[in-house]
Amino acid sequence: MNKFVAASTIGEALVNAKRPYIVTSYLGRNPKAVPLLIELSECLGIPVYLSCPSSVSFPLDHPHFAGISYGMGENKWLREADVILILDSDIPWIPMNNTPHQDARIFHIDVDVLKQNMGMFHVDAELIAKADCEQALTAILKAIDHTTIVGSVVADRKKSLATQHELWIQDLDRLETPGTPNITVPYVIRVLRDLAPPKTLYLNEGISNYIPVWSHLRPSRIGSSYTSGASSLGWGLGAAIGAIIGNAAIPGSTENEFVALVVGDGSFLFGVPSSAYWIARRYDTVRLPMVFSISY
């Protein structure tokens, strides 16, 4: 199947879907792909879900943001979807916890779609395409026949998504209220979010608090938040130093002006802090705030 037929097939399926669903993990590694995903979501009223995210692949403050997971808990969006589009994702779902509907049409686009270095990886998709998602989304958007879009259906989906997103925000706000006598993780992250400069680069190694950190930071700016994307601990300290050395946090830059590292579950110690802080001192990167997230 050539790329034009593939784009048309996916576009037609999304247009005709009753419950379309998009899931991604690291599409945000290419900043140019994110606006295209937003355009597709807004065009058809499609919820976008982040599974095991390692970058800001969709703004969390967007009304079509549908949720975030690291494989646990119930994902009703996935279970009820009739058309699923996977974009740049190593773990779109964990079958033990969630599986698509048996009649769902599944399409998988990824820069490494076969995951040849990952044991037992398989997605039973109708169409699997090894492609750059920026180019793939551009082709899908061009292939969509706008004359076949049912405006009332899209409007209803958008309204429902906006309502559910607002309820999610309200829940976050409630959790961020200072607790007594304990200081909670949501409250600490809210304080960080409020006090950090607008162009802050957040590095999230909260581990068991990955989801609370992502959720309560609510990153919307592309390139403003990252996790390691791997299973080992100790990434954060070196990543923070490297970000500063790499001029990702120089004051006055157009990208990030500050680096904030959130650590938890021993990841600070696994980063060999004695060596990390020696390197930070040696290369004058001591502008490194720490926030320790603790498990519930």
pLDDT per residue over 40-61, tens digit each? 999 999 999 999 999 999 999 9
At 181-228, the pLDDT tens digits run: 678 899 999 999 999 988 899 999 999 999 999 999 999 999 899 998
pLDDT for residue 294: 52
Cβ count within 10 A of residue 123 = 18
- Taking the model in full, what pTM does it have? 0.91
Domain regions of the chain by residue span: 3-165, 185-292
Read off the pLDDT of each residue in 263-276 and give the average, rounded to a whole number: 90
Give the pLDDT score at 147.
Answer: 86
The 10 Å CB-count burial string (b at 16+, else e) for 95-111 is eeebebeeebbbbbbbe
With beta carbons less than 8 A apart as the criterion, state whether 22 and 37 touch.
Answer: yes
Q: Tell me the C-alpha distance between 259 and 241, whole Å.
A: 9
In this structure, what DSSP letter does residue 112 have? T
Percent of the chain with pLDDT over 70: 93
In words, the CATH class of domain 185-292 is alpha beta
226-241 burial, b if ≥16 CB within 10 A, otherwise e?
A: bbbeeeebbbbbbbbb
CA-nearest of 161, 166, 182, 193 to 49 is 161
pLDDT at 248 over 70: no
Amino acid at 157: R
Measured N-to-C along each axis, helices 273-282 and 235-245 cross at an angle, to the nearest 10 degrees, of 10
**Cα within 13 Å of Cα(276), Cβ side:** 19
- A 10 A CB-CB count for 213 gives 26
Is-same-fold flag (3-165; 185-292)?
yes
Is there a contact between 60 and 76 (Cβ–Cβ < 8 Å)?
Answer: no
| Chosen CATH of 3-165 out of 3.40.1350.10, 3.30.499.10, 3.40.50.1220, 3.40.50.720 | 3.40.50.1220
pLDDT (mean) for 141-155: 93
- State the pLDDT at residue 187: 92
Strand 20-24 and strand 48-51: the pairing is: parallel
- Could you tell me if 28 and 34 are in contact, meaning their C-beta atoms sit under 8 angstroms apart? yes
Q: Could you tell me the pLDDT band of residue 122, with boundaries at 50, 70 and 90?
A: confident
Nearest to 14 by CA among 153, 199, 202, 164: 153
Cis peptide before 178 (omega within 30 of 0): no
